[in-house]
């Protein structure tokens, strides 16, 4: 099924303009949601807004928006005034500078979009994608849409363009706010830790290996519930208090367990291989 674009825009740098279409890169979360029902008749409840001052239910026609400039004090805006506050949508992705492809810390990534060429922009799109990939650079740009101003990063894989919506600097917390006590580790500790890391390292990311296990478990429980079966959760076992362990011993134990698992996997494969050998020899005997 072909992807559907959610907006059109134009990438601009210098005097070059590349008309593009914007596509969502991810599907909406497939997580399961539950609704609030009236226990008496299992009818879905409706949400209402109640004024705490007089206890009245307030219809949307009587609601206004306000900004709290001081505790309990608001300045109220009309719909026309709110429109004046919005950023004017230009549908332009204005490139301000090119950066090394890995220059932006992933902590700034908020959302990803795919960019495809719009009608008449195929050649310029292809040229920009190829040029950016060859230079291993990403484009930092400003994008105004839906009443907001966004900071975005445009990347290329050589054939296609991607747009990463970024957080602004004032939205990202300083990691210095996280309390961490500096500690000097011994060379032996670092070496063992590296061995453990390398023992489970992969050459690339394979997302298909991982599933939403919680969602699958909940789906199975819902199916059991629909069949009239009991899904009462078992009483969780009381967790023992955390033990203070020696770091070096923990690293060694982890490596040893990894080694035993690998050896077990090799033994599981050996019988199948040895079973083929007699058949091959027997076939060879018959040939003579």
CATH architecture assignment, domain 7-26+89-171 = Beta Barrel (2.40)
Residue range 93-107: mean pLDDT, rounded: 93
With 50 as the cut, is the pLDDT of residue 27 above it?
Answer: yes
In tens, the pLDDT along 176-220 reads: 898 998 888 889 888 888 888 888 888 888 888 888 788 888 888
Selection from 20, 18, 17, 1 nearest residue 9 by Cα: 20
Residue range 121-150: mean pLDDT, rounded: 89
In tens, the pLDDT along 217-275 reads: 888 888 888 888 887 766 666 666 655 467 677 777 877 877 777 667 666 665 554 44
CA distances from 130 to 31, 126, 160, 191 (A): 37, 6, 8, 41
As given in the structure block, the two tokens for residue 182 are 């500096």
| pLDDT confidence tier of residue 73, bands split at 50, 70 and 90 | very high
For the chain, give the percent of residues with pLDDT over 90. Answer: 40
Q: How far, in Å, CA of 282 to CA of 142, rounded?
A: 73
Q: Are 243 and 253 in contact (CB under 8 A)?
A: no
With 70 as the cut, is the pLDDT of residue 88 above it?
Answer: no
């Amino acid at each position: 099924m072909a992807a559907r674009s959610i907006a059109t825009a134009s990438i601009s740098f210098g005097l070059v303009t590349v008309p593009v279409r914007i596509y969502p890169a991810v599907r909406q979360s497939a997580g399961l949601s539950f609704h609030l029902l009236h226990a008496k008749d299992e009818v879905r409840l409706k949400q209402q807004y109640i004024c705490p001052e007089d206890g009245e239910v307030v219809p949307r026609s009587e609601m206004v928006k306000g900004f709290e400039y001081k505790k309990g004090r608001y300045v109220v805006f009309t719909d026309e005034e709110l429109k004046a506050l919005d950023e004017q949508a230009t549908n332009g992705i204005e490139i301000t500078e090119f950066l090394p492809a890995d220059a932006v810390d992933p902590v700034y990534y908020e959302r990803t979009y795919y960019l495809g060429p719009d009608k008449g922009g195929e050649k310029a799109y292809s040229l920009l994608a190829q040029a950016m990939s060859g230079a291993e650079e990403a484009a930092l740009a400003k994008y105004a849409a839906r009443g907001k101003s966004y900071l975005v990063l445009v990347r290329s894989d050589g054939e296609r363009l991607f747009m990463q919506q970024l957080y602004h600097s004032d939205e990202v917390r300083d990691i210095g706010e996280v309390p961490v006590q500096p500690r000097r580790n011994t060379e032996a500790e670092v070496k063992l830790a590296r061995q453990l890391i390398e023992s489970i390292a992969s050459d690339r990311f394979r997302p298909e290996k991982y599933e939403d296990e919680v969602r699958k478990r909940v789906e199975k429980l819902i199916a059991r519930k629909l069949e009239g079966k009991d899904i009462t959760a078992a009483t969780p076992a009381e967790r023992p208090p955390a033990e203070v362990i020696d770091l070096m011993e923990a690293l060694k134990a982890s490596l040893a367990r990894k080694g035993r698992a690998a050896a077990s996997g090799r033994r599981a494969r050996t019988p199948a291989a040895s079973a083929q050998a007699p058949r091959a020899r027997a076939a060879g005997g018959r040939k003579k």
